[in-house]
Structure 1
């Protein structure tokens, strides 16, 4: 498993976001959820700005990510929301989490119509979260295409540039009420050992857990830097 992307919840349109952050492209729309996005591809992951395009459709959506988006925009406004981990076997991961006693969404089919008219498909998995006032668990994704194929296509489309392909996500700061307990829970979910008393390493990305300085228990910061 590896970090796939981090999500910023926004009220801005993808077109506005793309003018504000160099290298960012308009992603497309999730018509079944009433949302759309902008995307910034880096070497090891990407940043997604997710916004509601169709209020009526989004209001009736019970999709876990859209529920979190609606909750956070209403409660906190714009800001980091959550992060996504890619896996090569999402069905087996779902079974593993259920054996651990965790309730899940089950494996969900998803798709996005890109700005160029291409339909991209993937599968998603969420840990059920009853309390949205604390840091939610990461969610999971399995793409229909391999990562190599996707990145080759994105580079051909101009979505991945040389400048951004030299930059990577190094660390994500995660705010929670109980850092030690949350770190232990994430280690169980991800199948890794803690790096120290406040962080874990997921391949090349450090996830650091911070006791909440305020009431927004979400991802707090994303640190990027040049690839070595």
Structure 2
């Protein structure tokens, strides 16, 4: 399985977010609107995954959306403000994964259908799957996505509409570092739930990314930082309470 994207909950509008990153020499764009969720986003694509900066556009709609990702975002924004929220793993067998989890006795959301209207007017569609768990300060399980288009088709369309430039394809999200109270407990849970491979005592592997778990005494357990390889300039950027390390 592949890291599909990272969700970073932000307070700023997508236009503001994209401009900040573009001014830093990193090609980011306004994504579009999730009209049923009351949210909108900005995006930074890399070779095989991307960062989604997710913000509330219509608060009343968002609070009534009854959607696991939006509920998590609202919880985080209300309790600690902006910051990394969770990660999404890409699969091509989401219905089979749902069945597999349920056979393990793991309660799920069932396969959810979603769509987003892009700035160009194109409607992008996908399926999502969540582990059903209480929204809290504990580390949320990753959620899963299956896109309507193949990876090749999706990236071709994204290049055509300017979402992806050549510089984006030189970047790779290589590490996601989580700060949790009990790394061993979280790693065992994720290994058992999702059949992930353990590289060492603090690392689980996806096909395109390492998931690193480090101990922390913080009350809130979340993704703390990411590493992005292939950048023209090596630097650490702290943006909206999240750490980006460009290598």
What range describes the TM-score normalised by the shorter chain of this pair?
A: over 0.9
Runs of 4+ aligned residues of structure 1 deviating over 6 Å after TM superposition are none
Contact map agreement 1:184 1:194 (CA 8 A) in 2? no
Distance 1:213 1:24 in 2: 34
Structure 1: any 5+ residue segments left out of the alignment? none
CA distance in 2, matches of 1:155, 1:131: 36
Corresponding residue for residue 78 of structure 1:
82
The CA distance in 2 between the partners of 1:42 and 1:102, in whole Å, is 32
What is residue 16 of structure 1 aligned with on the other side?
A: 16
- 1:35–1:51 contact (8 Å) kept in structure 2: yes
* Maintained 8 Å contact 1:172/1:223: yes
Look up the match of 1:199. 203
Give the number of aligned pairs: 227
Q: Please give the alpha-carbon distance, in whole angstroms, between the structure 2 residues aligned to 1:47 and 1:131.
A: 22
1:99 corresponds to 2:85 = no
Measure how far apart 1:192 and its partner are: 2.3
How far the C-alpha of 1:131 sits from its partner, in A, is 5.0
Alignment partners' CA distance in 2, 1:173 and 1:14: 25
The CA deviation at 1:217 is 0.6
How far apart in 2 are the matches of 1:3 and 1:89? 15
- Structure 1 residues 164 and 213, CA gap change in structure 2 (3 angstroms): farther
What residue is the counterpart of 1:30 in the other structure? Answer: 34
In structure 2, C-alpha distance between the alignment counterparts of 1:204 and 1:64, rounded to whole Å: 25
TM-score (norm 1): 0.97
**Aligned: 1:66 with 2:70:** yes
- Deviates most, 172-181 or 30-39: 172-181
